[in-house]
Amino acid sequence: MNLERKWKDQLYQEFARIGKCLSSPKRLELIDLLAQGPKSVDQLSKATGMSIANVSQHLQTLHESRLVRFNKKGNFVIYEVAELSVADFMVSLHRLSEKQLVEIQRLKTDILQHHASMEPISLEVLMERMERGEVLLLDVRPEDEYVMGHIPGAISIPIGELEKHLATLPVNKEIVAYCRGPYCLMSAQAVEILKSKGIKASRIEEGVHEWKRYVEHSNKSTQGKASYINN
């Protein structure tokens, strides 16, 4: 075996470590949750419906592949994604999977049929309407996730607290809800609650990471057009 062939074999063997680690649906869900912000093993257990022992085992595998890291706070072990590129990778995986696998689109359609009027508005439309002061953007994720990062201009009311805070919402603006991204239903639940109380509401499908990518892409497009004009 020549040196180049040996080098490539070793290289793809290392790539395969990540692929093998991501072959578990539960580990993918854990990464999605950690992409929203650091969480304890107990929080992850409650969010996924897995036992603490199973969560710990999956986290160990993710840690061995350098996809997550942890630190101790008192008696708690807190996990987070190893770096933001892990969250970016998950966004790419979601988009590729939905594009290539018809089953994913069907599953999304099936679940959203259980929620009335759930057609999302686009990020472009949202940003235009926010600039005109026509809508209020509502982040319905847990407050700690909002603190870790949110779409600028959004206010935080976790989905479990929404009904008791309805009186604080403006009556002259449409409410646009968002949560963890395309496969999170908290925003759909929020719209149902708001509409049931006579409040005009809609949702965006994207979460914080998708919004960041949208902004980066928009900025690059603008810079590209400016460069073309200047030349």
Residues labelled catalytic: 179
**Tokens 């892409």 belong to which residue?**
217
Query: Among 131, 91, 132, which residue's Cα sits nearest to residue 216?
Result: 91
**What radius of gyration do the chain's Cα atoms show?**
20
Show the tokens assigned to 220.
């690059």
Show the tokens assigned to 123.
């990020």
Q: Is 202 helix (H, G, I), strand (E, B) or coil?
A: strand
Sheet with 155-156, edge to edge strand ranges: 155-156, 135-139, 174-178, 201-203
Chain-centre distance for alpha carbon 111: 18
**Partners of 73 in the beta sheet?**
76
Residue 67: which residues within 8 A CB-CB, separation 6 or more?
Answer: 18, 21, 31, 81, 82, 86
Distance CA 12, CA 64 (A): 17
- CB-count burial class (<10 Å; 0-12, 13-18, 19+) for 149: middle
